[in-house]
Structure 1
Amino acid sequence: MEKAELKKFKELLLKMKSDIINSGVLNSREDLQVSTDDLADEADLANNVINQQVTFNMRNREFAKLRAIEVALERIEDGTYGHCEECDEAIGKKRLEHQPWADLCITHAEEREREEQRFKRIG
């Protein structure tokens, strides 16, 4: 990959990292507290639990994306960015433009997804 392209992807990854950190999603504690008023009403308590689950899911997704961005930035530094970790073939530019933290080519990404789906059904 050319230096100009690497620079473009690095800038994009750094912006995405900054956006996640500055979004407040990782620091929000609003949905994580249960009001004593909600404890008396089962519907309010259930709604509170649902909101907490949504918040946890959003945080987990953002943390996972942040970790993937960090790894992608490390791969830029060590010269392995843009290559599939399974087969070492180049990852398509369109894939990297859509998901710049991608570490697998589309073939291996689909294979991993099928395996994960299979384990979810088993487990």
Structure 2
Amino acid sequence: MEKKELEYYKEKLLKLKTEILNNGVIRRKEDLEISSDDLPDEADIATAVINQQVTFNMRAREMEKLRNIEFALQRIEEGTYGHCDECDDPIGKKRLENQPWADLCITHAEEREREENRFKKVG
């Protein structure tokens, strides 16, 4: 990958990282706290629990994306960015444009997804 392309993806990754850190999902606390004064009945408790779960899920997704962005930035520094971790083939430009933290070519990404889905069904 050319230096100009690497700089483009590095800037894109840094922008995404900044957006995640500044959007507040990771630091949001209002849905994580339940006050006993605010919960007069079971329906309110259920709503609060659902809101907590949604917040946990959003936070987990954002944290995972942030980790992947950090790994992608590290791969840029190491000179391995844009190549599949499994087969070392170049990752498609369209894939990197949509998911600049991608570490697998589409073939291996689909294979990993099938494996993960299979384990979810078994477990």
State the TM bucket, normalised to the shorter chain. Answer: over 0.9
Larger fraction in helix: 1
CA distance in 2, matches of 1:108, 1:27: 33
Deviations 1:19-70 (Å, cap 9, x if unpaired)? 0000111101000011213443100000000000000000000000000000
Matched, 1:111 2:111: yes
Match of 1:49 in 2: 49
Counterpart mapping for 1:44-123 below 5 A:
44-123=44-123
CA drift of 1:85 comes to 0.1
Match of 1:35 in 2: 35
For structure 1, which runs of at least 5 residues remain unmatched after alignment? Answer: none
CA distance in 1, matches of 2:71, 2:46: 37
User: TM-score with structure 2 length normalisation?
Assistant: 0.98
Deviations 1:75-115 (Å, cap 9, x if unpaired)? 00000000000000000000000000000000000000000
For structure 2, which runs of at least 5 residues remain unmatched after alignment? Answer: none
CA distance in 1, matches of 2:116, 2:25: 26
CA distance in 1, matches of 2:24, 2:93: 30
CA distance in 2, matches of 1:34, 1:6: 46
Matched, 1:5 2:5: yes
CA drift of 1:71 comes to 0.1
SS in structure 2 at match of 1:70: helix
Partner AA of 1:37 in structure 2: D
- Report how many aligned residue pairs link the two structures: 123
Partner AA of 2:101 in structure 1: W
CA distance in 2, matches of 1:89, 1:57: 33
Greater Cα shift, 37-46 or 20-29: 37-46
Greater Cα shift, 51-60 or 36-45: 36-45
CA distance in 1, matches of 2:32, 2:111: 36
CA distance in 2, matches of 1:108, 1:58: 26
